[in-house]
Structure 1
Amino acid sequence: MIRIAGAPITWGVCEVPGWGHRMSAGRVLAEMAETGLSATEFGPDGFLPRDPAARSRLLAEHGLTAVGGFVPVVLHRPDHDPLPTVLDALAGFGPARTLVLAAATGDHGYDRRPELDARGWDILLRNLERLTRRAADAGVSAVLHPHVGTLVEGPDDITRVLDGSAVPLCLDTGHLLVGGSDPVALAVRAAERVAHVHLKDVDAALAGRVRNGETGYAEAVRTGLYRPLGAGDIDIAALVSALGAVGYDGWYVLEQDTALDAEPAPGDGPLADVRTALAHLDRITGTAGRAGAKDREGAAVRRGGRAVGVPPHH
C-alpha cells in the first residue's frame, strides 16, 4: 500500500508573493476530499489555522488529516540563526510529523540563487544536522527538499548533502528533474535516505529551458512546466516501484505546482488534473479503477492516507 496526500500548491496556493490567485481553504479542502484524498500538507502561513486544534477541526470537517509542512529557511549565513524559525514552525505542528525544509537563499521567489563557497556549505550542513535533531526532539521528522532556486538544487548539491550529513531527503520528482537530476536514479541510489516524496510530472523540454536560464521558474510553471501524472516525462511507475522494493512507507504527496489567474469555475481548474493524476496512480499500481478500490480506501482511512497497491519491482 502507498499513502497519498494532497498539497495546497496543487490548487495554486503558494507562499511566494505575487504567485497568483489563491483559492479559499474551504474550496481546496472540499476538492481534496472529493477526489478521495484524506491528508494534506499545511500550505503557506495563513492558509490553514496556525493553532493545531483549530486546524485539526477544520481538516476533520473534510475528512482530512495533516501530514506536515514546507518551511524554507536560510541555512548558509553566519549572521543568521535558523533555529528560531524552525522552533516557531514546530510549535504549530500538532500531530503532524513531517517538517519539509528547503535551503532558502533569503530572496523572494525561485528564479535565481547564489553559489556557496566552502564555508557556506559547512554552515549549511551543520545547521541541517542541528535542525534535524531539534525536530526529532519534538517527535517530528525533518527532511531536506532539493528545490529549484534554493542552495540545494542540482546533482552536485545533493551529493554534498548526502556525503556531508545524515539528513533525510524529500524526493520531489519535479524539482529534481528541473535541477538536472534523474529522480528515479536518485531513488535507487539513496533509497535509505528518502523519507518523504512529492510527486510531480514534468515537461522535460520546458525544464531544460529553466535549467539553461532561458526562462524563469515561475514563468515556466505558468506555461505548463508541470503536467498531470502520466502526461509528462517522468517514469512515475518506475519511481514508485523502486521505493516500494526497499520498503518505503512514507507519504507520496501529490504536488503539482500551479499558478492561477482567477478562480476556476466549479468542477474545473486543478481538480481535473488531480483526478487525472490519481487515475494514473491507480493504473500503475494495479488498482482496477476507483470503484474497484473499496477495500484499499478502507485501509487508507485506517492508516491515515489514500492508499493504492504497490507494483512489483522489475
Structure 2
Amino acid sequence: MTHSLRAAADRIAGAPISWGVCEVPGWGFQLPPDRVLEQMREVGLVATEFGPDGFLPEQPAAKAQTLAAHRLAAVGQFVPVVLHRRDHDPEPEVRQAIDGLLAAGASTVVLAAATGTEGYDQRPELDLDSWNLLLSNLNRLVAVIRAAGLTPAVHPHVGTMVESGDEVQRVLDGSDIGICLDTGHLLIGGGDPVALATEHPDRIAHVHLKDVNAALAGQVRSGAVAYAAAVADGLYVPLGAGDVDVAAIVRALEQNGYQGWYVLEQDAVLSGDPATDPNAADPLDDVRTSIAFIRSTVAALPGNTEGAQ
C-alpha cells in the first residue's frame, strides 16, 4: 500500500527534546516553552508531543490552550512508568497523562518501562518474575488506554527495562501493545530498526525518527561512555547525517499502510542560550536539516504523484 506525499508530509511532528528540553536533572540549558513552540511553527511543523512534565501547563485545559495558541496539534506524550515492581502501580500516572492527552485532542500514549531511578545511564537486571509483571502491567495499561480512545505504544529506550532488540521481542511475544519505533534508541540498544519496520509493520503504532553516530552508539552499548555524555558529544545527528537508514524505514512503513505520526527527535544538550551565547549551538539548524530530509524522503516514496510541499 502507498500513500500520497501530502498524507505523509502532513504526519511530520516535532518534540521538545530536539530543542534540548528534557526531564533529566542537569541535562543542559532549558529553552522557554514559548520560544520552542514558536520555532516549531516557524519551521513548518504542524504538531508536537507534550515534552516532559513542567514544559507545558499541568492542567489539561491549559495544555490544550497553550498548543492551540501556537497553532500546533497534539500528538502524544512520553510517559515513563515503573512496570516491574510489585510495590508500584503505574496506572494512576497513566490515567493522569490520559486526561491531558484527551483535552488536547492527542492520539498516543508513549509508555517507557522506567527503571525507577533518575536518568538513563544505569538499569537493573530483571528476573523472570519481574519480566512477567512488566508484561502483565503493559497489557493492563493497554486496556486502560484503549478504553479512553487512545493508542498505546511502548518505547524501547536506552536506560529503561525495554532497550535491546531481544527485549523488544519479549514485548512483541508477551503483549499486544504497539511499538513506538524509535530509530535511534533501538540501534543504540543493539536492535535493528529497519528489521523491526519490515518484519513487524503491523505492530508499529508510533514513530520517533532519529539518526545516530554508530561509533558513539557502540561506546554507549559497551558501557565505555555514559548515555547523557554521548548525547552531549553528538550521539544524535540530523536525519540523513548518521548511520540509521531512515529512508528505508519510512518506505517500509508507508508501503505497509502506516498512518501514524513521524516525530522528529534529535536529542540535544544545550550548553547555553543560543540567542545570547555565541558559543552555544542553535538546535534550530539541525531541525531544519531533518525536516528537509524527511520531506525529500516522503517525496521519493513509490506511488507519489505530487511534488514536494
TM-score by length of 2: 0.91
1:151-206, CA deviations, whole angstroms, 9 ceiling, x for partnerless residues?
00001111110111101000000000000011011111111100000000000000
Q: Could you say which residue in structure 1 is the equivalent of 2:193?
A: 183
Alignment of 1:134-149 (within 5 A): 134-149=144-159
Structure 1 segments of 4+ aligned residues over 3 angstroms from their partners = none
- Counterpart residue identity of residue 12, structure 1: G
Q: Distance in 2 between matches of 1:38 and 1:296?
A: 16
Residue deviations 1:213-238 (CA, integer Å, cap 9, x gap): 00000000000000000110111110
Work out the percentage of aligned pairs sharing the same amino acid. 60
Cα deviation for residue 285 of structure 1 reads 2.2
Question: What residue number does 1:150 align with?
Answer: 160
Q: Using the alignment, how far apart are the partners of 1:249 and 1:264 within structure 2? A: 36
2:287 corresponds to 1:274: yes
Q: Which amino acid aligns with 1:222?
A: A
Matched, 1:214 2:224: yes
Say if 2:120 and 2:159, in contact at 8 Å, map to a contact too.
yes
Question: What is the SS of the residue equivalent to 1:197?
Answer: strand
Q: 1:57 aligns with which of 65, 81, 97?
A: 65
- Cα contact 2:61–2:100 (8 A) shared by 1: no
Which amino acid is 1:76 matched to? Answer: H
The correspondence of residues 104-143 of structure 1 with structure 2, limited to 5 A, is 104-143=114-153
Alignment match, 1:23 = 31
Q: Is the 8 A contact 2:299 2:308 kept in 1?
A: no
The correspondence for 1:286, drawn from 264, 276, 299, is: 299
Partner of 2:20: 12
Structure 2 counterpart of 1:197: 207
- Measured in 2, the distance between the counterparts of 1:262 and 1:188 equals 40
Partner of 2:257: 247
Residue 296 of structure 1 deviates from its aligned partner by: 7.0
CA distance in 1, matches of 2:267, 2:163: 17
Preserved CA contact (<8 Å) 2:63 2:100: no
**Take 2:162 and 2:65, find their aligned partners in 1: how far apart are those partners?**
35
- Helix, strand or coil: the match of 1:276? helix
Which residue of 2 is the match for residue 308 of structure 1?
none
Amino acid at match of 1:205: A
Q: 264-273 or 53-62: which moved more?
A: 264-273
For the residues of structure 2 that align with 1:54 and 1:147, how far apart are their CA atoms? 29
Structure 2 residue runs of 5 or longer lacking an equivalent are: 1-6, 301-305
TM-score, structure 1 normalization: 0.90
Post-superposition CA distance 1:7-56 (Å, at most 9, x none): 00000000111111110011000110011001000001111122233222
What RMSD, in angstroms, separates the aligned Cα atoms of the two structures? 1.6
